[in-house]
Structure formats: C-alpha cells, structure tokens
C-alpha cells in the first residue's frame, strides 16, 4: 500500500511523529500530503528552540493550538539578558536582529489561537509585560503560564494575572530578576488557587537606571568611609 492510500486519520497520526521540518518536506511530495500538513488538528502542540525558528514556514498557527513552548537555552541568551544601557555596539546589533521576533509571534498567537491552554517561555529576554497582558486578554482559556529567565518581565505581568488570568491554574516566574516579593504576595492574595512558583526571582538584583546605580554607589562609599 502506498502512503497516500491511507485515510486522513492514519496520515495525521503518522505526521504527528515528525518534527516541523520533516512534515514540511513530506508535504511537498504531493497534494494529498500537503492537505494533511495544513490540517489544524496536526498543530495543537508547538515547540521552538530559538527565536529564528519562529520565522520559518514549517508550521501552522491556528485555533487548534493548545500548547506552545519557546525555550532558548543558547549561550547567546546571556547577551539578551544584559541591561540595555550596558550593551556595547556588537551586543546591540545582535539583539536588534531578533528583539521583536518573539513579541510579534505572540501577537499572532493572540489573534489566531484563542484556545491556547499552556505557554512556556524560557530565555526570551526581549518579551515584555505588554505581550503577556495581550495574551491573557485574548486567550481566556490559558491555564498554565511558565516564564523562565525573561528579564523584561516585571510586576506588571503579575498584576495582569490578577486582572485577566481567570482560568490560570499554574504560574511560574523563575529567574525573572525584575519580579519583586511584593508583586508575588499580591498574586498569592488575589489568586489563592493559582499554583505559584518564583525560583530566585525576588532575590535577584533588579535592573536600574544608570543614575540610580551611581546614587547607590555613592551611598555605599559613604558608609564605608564612616
């Protein structure tokens, strides 16, 4: 039996074992397999391992998407985590290439994927509170939100959770240095049913403007002199 003689359900099952590139390559072989590739039922789960993967034409984004993960563990993440005003020209050029990539992709998710149940972002240093706010507003069924090493995430995201995370059951904000203990306590108070985890977040040194750092350094020197 030729593969194209299999029924739609069998073909969808076979496609489900393939990665995104393999699905795309197989879809190029004939019209019937292209239709399977374009079936929304095939795309309920999406995993990405770098921002650049979001620009590839090897997946389908639609209302069937329920589980989304963008986890970037490259050494290059460290460059994105440097405070903007401390970056040199090389580091700024590197970040400019993909600074809005994840945020723009999440905007597409907001517009096309209202049934999203779970979102995991790790190492996405350019994702902002505004992106998470829009996601919570446009994906009301979201039950799990896991943010790790997302340095631009602040207490504004925690506030958005208390206002728009009505379906949220699990919230992780690990190694997000601009999250404060007060923001975490506010979530625990207003959303007691949410399983909240914040590994190291409230204990890390938050970002601060250069003039604030200078003031702190002067104060420290005065204390040493005393």
pLDDT in tens, 22-62: 999 999 999 999 999 999 999 999 999 999 999 999 999 99
Q: Which fold has domain 1-42?
A: Monooxygenase (1.20.1280)
Query: Token pair of 20, please?
Result: 């995104």
Across the chain, what does the average pLDDT equal?
A: 89
* Residue 223 confidence (pLDDT): 46
Q: Which of helix, strand or coil describes residue 138? A: helix
Q: Say what the pTM is.
A: 0.85
- Domain(s) labelled CATH 1.20.1280 in the chain stretch across 1-42
> How many CB atoms lie under 10 A from the CB of residue 101?
19
CATH 3.80.10 intervals, the chain: 44-207
Indicate the pLDDT class of residue 134, thresholds 50, 70 and 90: very high
DSSP-derived secondary structure letter, 86: G
Q: Where in 35-136 does DSSP place strands (E)?
A: 45-48, 67-71, 118-122
Residue 224's H or E segment, with its range, is: helix 210-225
44-207 topology per CATH: 3.80.10
Distance separating alpha carbons of residues 192 and 177, to the nearest angstrom: 23
């Amino acid at each position: 039996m030729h593969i194209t003689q299999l029924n739609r359900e069998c073909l969808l099952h076979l496609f489900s074992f393939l990665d995104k590139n393999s699905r795309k390559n197989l879809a190029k072989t004939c019209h019937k397999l292209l239709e399977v590739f374009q079936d929304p039922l095939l795309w309920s789960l999406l995993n990405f391992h770098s921002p650049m993967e979001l620009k590839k034409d090897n997946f389908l984004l639609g209302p069937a998407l329920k589980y989304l993960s963008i986890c970037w563990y490259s050494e290059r993440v460290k460059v994105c985590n440097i405070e903007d005003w401390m970056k040199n020209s090389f580091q700024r050029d590197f970040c400019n290439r993909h600074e809005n990539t994840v945020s723009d992709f999440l905007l597409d998710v907001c517009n096309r994927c209202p049934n999203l149940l779970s979102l995991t972002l790790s190492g996405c240093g350019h994702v902002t509170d505004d992106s998470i706010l829009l996601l919570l507003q446009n994906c009301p069924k979201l039950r799990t939100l896991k943010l790790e090493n997302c340095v631009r995430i602040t207490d504004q995201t925690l506030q958005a959770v208390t206002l728009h995370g009505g379906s949220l059951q699990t919230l992780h904000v690990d190694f997000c240095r601009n999250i404060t203990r007060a923001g975490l306590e506010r979530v625990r108070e207003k959303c007691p049913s949410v399983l909240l985890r914040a590994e190291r977040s409230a204990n890390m040194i938050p970002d601060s403007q250069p003039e604030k750092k200078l003031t702190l350094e002067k104060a420290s020197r005065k204390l040493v002199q005393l």
